[in-house]
Amino acid sequence: MSTLVTGATGQVGRRVLTELRRRGLSAAGASRDGEVRLDWTDTTSWEPAVEGVERLFVTVPMASGLTDRVGAFLERAVAAGVRTAVLTTAMGTENGPPDSEQRVLERRVRELFDHWTVVRPNWLDQDFTEGVFARLARSRKGRLELPLAKDAAASFVDARDVTHTVVAALTEEGHHGREYTLTGPAAVTFREVVRMTKGTESPVWRYKKVDEAGFYFRATDIGWSDRYVDTLNERFRAIANGRAAVVTDDVRRALGRDPAPMAKFARESLH
Ligand SMILES: NC(=O)c1ccc[n+]([C@@H]2O[C@H](COP(=O)([O-])OP(=O)(O)OC[C@H]3O[C@@H](n4cnc5c(N)ncnc54)[C@H](OP(=O)(O)O)[C@@H]3O)[C@@H](O)[C@H]2O)c1
C-alpha cells in the first residue's frame, strides 16, 4: 500500500513525504537525487520506481519540457497497478492554452487514473525562504528584483497547506475528481512581505521593481533557462493583472479549516 512521492527533494514533495511518514504510512521519495532514483528522462529508472506502488504524488518542475516523458511514465505506472494519482500544477493552469505543459499533464492524469485529484497552488510563502524569490534575492544581496510594482499582490499559500491537501487526497475518501486551487486567506503585497522579512534572516529583505529586460538579465545570470523565465513572466503577469490575488475557499473545501495567513508563516519561519 505504498505511495511514491515524485519531486521528493523539492519544496512540496519533501513535505508530502515527511507528512506521510509522520502519519506512519509507507512512502518512498523519488527524484534524480532521491532515495528512489527516478529521472523522467531515463526510462530505465521508471519500472523499478513504481514496483509495488499503489498511489502516486506527481510533481513536475515548471517549464521543464518533460510533459511527454512524464505522460509515458504515468502510462507505465498504471500498467504496473497504480490506481491513484494526485498532481500539482499551478493556480490558473485551467485557463492557460490547451497545449500548455501543465494542462496536458492534468488531462493525462484525469484520463489514466481511477482516482485522481488536481491541486493548483498559488505562489508559496516558502518561495521567500527557499524557492524562486529566495534564490533571486540571494544573488542580489537580499534585494528581490521583479518586474512588478511593490503594491502588486498575491494570495500566497503556505506549502504546509498544500502538503496537507495532497496528503488528504492521497489517503482519504472524497477527493476523487476534485480540482483544488489553493490560496492563502488574503492577498499580500510585496511591500507587506518585505515588511515582514526585514531584520530577519530571510534571504529577502528589500524589494525593487525592474523591467522585463532587467529581470531577464538577472534570471539568466543565475542560470535559469529562457523557457523558465518566460513561464515566470507569464505568472508575474497574473500577479500584475490581479488574477493571483484571488482568494479561494479550496483549503477549507479540502481540509475543513481555513488556510494559514502569511503572517503566521513569517512568525514561525523567520527569525
Ligand atoms: N513554488 C511555487 O510557488 C509553486 C507555485 C504553484 C505551483 N507550484 C507547483 O508545485 C510543484 C512543485 O514545485 P516545487 O517548487 O516544490 O518544485 P521544486 O522545489 O523546484 O522541485 C522540483 C523537483 O523535481 C525534481 N526533478 C527535477 N528534474 C527532474 C527529472 N528530470 N526527473 C525527476 N525529478 C526531477 C527535483 O529533484 P532532483 O533535482 O533531485 O531530481 C525536485 O525534487 C510544481 O508542479 C510547480 O509547478 C509551485
pLDDT (tens digit, 9 = 90+) per residue, 233-244?
999 999 999 999
DSSP state of 261: P
Confirm whether 93 is domain-assigned.
yes
What is the 202 CA–ligand 1 centroid distance (Å)?
21
Do residue 135 and residue 259 come from a single domain? yes
What is the structure's pLDDT at 50? 97
Do residue 93 and residue 212 come from a single domain? no
Do residue 143 and residue 267 come from a single domain? yes
Containing structural domain, residue 250? 122-158+182-271
What is the 149 CA–ligand 1 centroid distance (Å)?
27
Do residue 64 and residue 130 come from a single domain? no
Residue 211 belongs to domain with CATH number: 3.90.25.10
Which residue CA neighbors atom 16 of ligand 1 most closely?
A: 11
Confirm whether 246 is domain-assigned.
yes
What is the 21 CA–ligand 1 centroid distance (Å)?
20
Number of domains composing the chain: 2
Domain boundary pick from 71, 104, 120: 120
Locate 214 and state its grid cell: 532587467
Q: Which pairs with CB-CB distance under 8 Å and at least 24 residues apart come from 197-201?
A: 197/128, 197/266, 197/270, 200/266, 200/270, 200/271, 201/270, 201/271
Determine whether 267 is exposed, middle or buried from the number of CB atoms within 10 Å of its CB (0-12, 13-18, 19+): exposed
Amino acid letter, 245: A
Enclosing H/E stretch for 265: helix 262-269
Ligand 1: lining residues by beta carbon, under 6 Å: 7-13, 31-34, 38-41, 59-62, 88-90, 121, 123-124, 127, 131
Do residue 94 and residue 127 come from a single domain? no
Confirm whether 166 is domain-assigned.
no
Confirm whether 175 is domain-assigned.
no
Give the residue ranges of the chain where pLDDT is below 70: 1
Give the separation between CA 66 and CA 78, rounded to whole angstroms. Answer: 18
What is the structure's pLDDT at 1? 56
Do residue 195 and residue 116 come from a single domain? no
Confirm whether 89 is domain-assigned.
yes
| 6, 9, 144, 243, best to mutate for ligand 1 pocket (most atoms within 8 Å of CB) | 9
Domain boundary pick from 120, 144, 174: 120
Encode pLDDT of 197-255 as tens digits.
Answer: 877 878 998 999 999 999 999 999 999 999 999 999 999 999 999 999 999 999 999 99
What is the structure's pLDDT at 66? 93
What is the 162 CA–ligand 1 centroid distance (Å)?
14
Confirm whether 177 is domain-assigned.
no
Residue corresponding to grid cell 519531486: 7
Do residue 151 and residue 206 come from a single domain? yes
Give the separation between CA 39 and CA 60, rounded to whole angstroms. Answer: 11
